[in-house]
Copies of this chain bind each other. A is one copy, B any other.
Amino acid sequence: MIEKHLMKLRARDDISAEEERALRDAIGEVIDYPADHTFITAGRELHASTLLVDGFLCRYKDLSGGQRQITEIHTPGDFADLHSFTLKYLDHNVMALTPSRVVQVPHDKLAAITENHPHLARLLWFMTNLDAAIHREWEVSLGRRSAIERTAHLFCELQVRLGVVGLASARDYALPITQSELAECLGLTSVHVNRVLRELRERELVEFRSGRVMIADLAGLKRVAEFDPAYLYLDKRAR
């Protein structure tokens, strides 16, 4: 159930058998959500965090004009709202982009981990800081990169993050979301995302079709995006 989460953690630090046991003991109810279902609403008090087992989730905020900004995409193995453990309620919503399976991890189990497993606790803290690093990189994309660079950057990021949990190769990966949802990540309109996707296809970098990202030229894609994966902290240096 939490294998992908363990893969994600182990890409950043070593985990002992005992810590693994503590994590396995912490998991609670398994829940399936349909696509487009918002299961965490901003402001509501929370008593458990959500670990994504299968599918895609996103965090988003709505604006008055009906606009929406997705602030992060979650891939299997991610704790979608681990930060609610310290925040107690969130400033944003969390939604299933695709039919998704999650497990609940009650906050009191997390509290027990912080008391009995300091190293694991620090690693969980690290994981929330990793989400913040992803937010920062998205700020850079939204603030300074052109539409095509931004789109290429997102495809690169997801290729790496999904690769860590065995869900992406250098050639392709599943990303069963719509062009409108991509636009909500990228701060663009779906019309313009469509044009950008065409250009990426014509330049033989990537093709995004029927919920799949097919990478024709990974090196070229990274070059367009100026992609540097350092912000994903994929090494065990110093930890």
Q: Which residues of A contact B (CB under 8 A)?
A: 42-43, 45, 59, 61, 63-64, 67-69, 71-72, 83, 86-89, 91-92, 114-115, 118, 121-123, 125-126, 128-133, 135-140, 142-145, 186-187, 226, 230-231, 233, 237-239
Given contacts A64-B226, A125-B128, A132-B135, is CB(A142)–CB(B187) below 8 Å?
Answer: yes
* Given A43-B230, A128-B132, A231-B91: A139 and B142 interface contact (C-beta under 8 Å): yes
What chain B residues lie within 8 Å of A63 (beta carbons)?
A: 140, 144-145, 226
Residue contact A144 to B69, C-beta cutoff 8 Å: yes
A59 in contact with B122 given A86-B129, A87-B233 (CB within 8 Å): no
Query: Are A187 and B144 in contact, CB atoms less than 8 angstroms apart?
Result: yes
Question: B71, A140: Cβ atoms under 8 Å?
Answer: yes
Residue of B nearest to A136 (CB): B71
Question: Inside 8 A of A123's CB, which chain B residues have their CB?
Answer: 86
Indicate whether A59 sits within 8 Å of B129 (C-beta atoms), given known contacts A114-B118, A144-B69, A237-B88.
no
What residues of chain B lie closer than 8 Å to A131, measured between beta carbons?
Answer: 132
CB of A129 within 8 A of CB of B126, answer no
